[in-house]
Structure 1
């Protein structure tokens, strides 16, 4: 890929439905902690991504995040296998989230005209078909349309939120059950640690896509150009991750839901803005499926000619692996009662490593023996100690908060596995 195509691929991955969950995060945290968390997460994302790129330039044989883990832990095979497990678990659960999201979209648009299991199967089959191309160059072309339609969906949401007379629904009841719409600088009285921590994890989840970056870099025609692609992504992300959620919070206030489309009071507005999300839902699922399939495929094929040639065995193995990934993801989509809480769990369990801890170790590894050699090096080392602490905090208290939210889900009325229940927003 050229750096331009890599930029489109990055934007296609990042411009996603999770943006529409940030309005809810602001409604939990309030303006001040919410915006500060968004800005700090963005700064850490840029710094750690640049460190990852420098490390890969030092070891250009790195092909994916598993190779990255292998080298930063001193060429440890245990680290490689552990990272591989984390990669597949993270990606397949995320694909399952997108299968479930696609079913919610079809439920919403059709007024639940079919059993939700049927909608999930439809999305799974569409995902398998779109995942057939073996190179990310082809997927990057799809990402152009993904980013465009998600941007259009976000724009429509902001317009509709601004022109409608009042929101329709919030987690505390229909409008005006919880009083007039209001915004606030800090969390409302009674807001729990679990709620605040899950709101923070929701934000960090959106800012931590680096698990895919080594794979993207390995398929670039000139990997040294990756910072250009990263600059485009960071600019787009900084705008989309802050402005639309802020607009949504301004007009929805305490009635914000995740995704924010669910709070719109006019059904036509809800359907019109949510409909376009079907494209990014499929494309982002395809991106994660492609990266996951490559890891498995290369383990199966090794260095044989089938790994890179257009042979019947090669294509059969590729399609078989892809079908297997989507079927497992579909099962996750069917059996998990609340994907929102599981996203927080993913953020705590996986993003703590792939957004914070791994890159701190890479930084310390590159400057071993000279961590405090001069003012700038001392500053960077202290900064990465802070980043490491953030990752460990997410892995500890963050993981606890995510698990508590899931336990609360299971203690209430939950959607049974393989249910036909209506999941429309």
Structure 2
């Protein structure tokens, strides 16, 4: 992995930010600012310019990724954990999200040449090529399986709306082809425009669900049986009697999965014109996330109680309610798949093209390679969607195996690299050092007991029979 170096010209030195700006950006030193300036100037000399996003467009991109269908699975997490453990898990997940994301940003400002999470792993672990390749493997596995989940979700939406008018594989193919076409833009600035519509559509879907859950007489069914076999709808402070540790752990993984998108953040930051403005985008995202990740799931749990399903749309009684609310999910399903595909394709594409002018020019070779890489990524995701019997369980597996690194362990290590030898220089630094030690412990816990719980859930599903690969079975909610 090359360690990029940029010589500072006298002209660039003259463009250093004022003292006031540097005071507002305490984590960005003069050398980093000079490197960022050089990187932006180099990029703007290309035909295809990547480093063009403002912090506002980055905020929309973040919101488009985070305002997703996984929000509608949180009512189920509350139904497993109960109010007290469930809300506490959500709150602490949000706190850890902010702290680790800010640590990531500080680390990237020290190494502005970082282009993706693989570069981040390379520098965080002492310029280790092993860490770089290991992170690359995890990046592609995580992202492609998530794209596969969105292919399956797209098929589920179309199945629901069409009353299973075609074989499910046909709907998966349609979703895959739409994803490839929508993924053709090469800059995240253009994808951010899609994200605005994605977040808006998901917001409408959530609002409609809450309205329908409130006005219907009772939910249709839950994992404990059809209403009213599991008794009247009720909520509870702690897990119900008989709830297993594996069930609770999977509910926790479901929550942490929603709060851990940092695998994408280095790529987002690398395409900002002013990467030092990322905390503004992050603040917008955090405010949106705190509300959407806690309030709608809590309202959903209030109305659905022990009948909550994942996603919660499945618990609604009248079919028209399901269709009206679930229909809007098709947009975020495709757009979020596009975001993950863009980040994955950029990693592969940049390794294929290297420093060739095709990498950043409108050439036939460049665009052919880009379309080819994107098509292969979506095709592999399509195969995952068809051959994996329970995508929900495999998302728990992803949460334990990958989010433990990309949401916790990586940033505890990065923090140690940033402040090595100064971990307890003052009271504030000492407190943050202890917090990051806790972050490391949480990451290791998710990687150990969390991974065990995810594997146990998969084994249980396999023992109960699984759907065959490339099945035409109806997957409508």
The yes-or-no answer on 1:125 pairing with 2:177 is yes
**Cα offsets for 1:248-303 (capped at 9, x unmatched):** 00000000000000000111101100000000000000000000000000000000
The yes-or-no answer on 1:61 pairing with 2:113 is yes
The yes-or-no answer on 1:33 pairing with 2:115 is no
The yes-or-no answer on 1:93 pairing with 2:145 is yes
- Where 2:263 maps in the other structure, the secondary structure is helix
Alignment correspondent of 1:48: 100
The yes-or-no answer on 1:151 pairing with 2:206 is no
Aligned length: 425
Q: Which of 157, 163, 177 does residue 229 from structure 2 map onto? A: 177
1:19 to partner: Cα distance = 0.2
1:173 to partner: Cα distance = 1.2
**Cα offsets for 1:294-338 (capped at 9, x unmatched):** 000000000000000000000000000000000000000001111
Alignment correspondent of 1:264: 316
1:413 to partner: Cα distance = 2.3
**Cα offsets for 1:213-260 (capped at 9, x unmatched):** 000000001001100000000000000000000000000000000000
Q: Which of 370, 390, 398 does residue 318 from structure 1 map onto? A: 370
Cα distance in 2 for residues equivalent to 1:281 and 1:315: 25
The yes-or-no answer on 1:226 pairing with 2:278 is yes
1:374 to partner: Cα distance = 2.0
Cα distance in 2 for residues equivalent to 1:376 and 1:229: 25
Structure 1-normalised TM-score? Answer: 1.00
Moved >2 Å (runs of 4+): none
Cα distance in 1 for residues equivalent to 2:287 and 2:435: 22
Q: Which of 368, 373, 384 does residue 436 from structure 2 map onto? A: 384
Alignment correspondent of 1:215: 267
Structure 2-normalised TM-score? Answer: 0.89
- Where 2:355 maps in the other structure, the secondary structure is coil
- Where 1:69 maps in the other structure, the secondary structure is helix
Alignment correspondent of 2:128: 76
RMSD value over aligned CA atoms? 0.5
Alignment correspondent of 1:6: 58
Alignment correspondent of 1:421: 473
Alignment correspondent of 1:142: 194
Cα distance in 1 for residues equivalent to 2:453 and 2:193: 38
Select the structure of larger CA radius of gyration: 2
Cα distance in 2 for residues equivalent to 1:288 and 1:207: 16
1:147 to partner: Cα distance = 0.2
Q: Which has the higher contact order (CA 8 A, sep 6+)?
A: 1
Alignment correspondent of 2:30: none
Cα distance in 1 for residues equivalent to 2:391 and 2:236: 27
**Cα offsets for 1:38-71 (capped at 9, x unmatched):** 0000000000000100110011000100000000
- Where 2:334 maps in the other structure, the secondary structure is helix
- Where 1:241 maps in the other structure, the secondary structure is helix
Cα distance in 1 for residues equivalent to 2:309 and 2:101: 30
1:93 to partner: Cα distance = 0.1
Alignment correspondent of 1:103: 155
- Gap runs ≥5 in structure 2: 1-52
Cα distance in 2 for residues equivalent to 1:33 and 1:172: 20
- Gap runs ≥5 in structure 1: none
- Where 2:130 maps in the other structure, the secondary structure is helix
1:378 to partner: Cα distance = 1.3
- Where 1:211 maps in the other structure, the secondary structure is coil
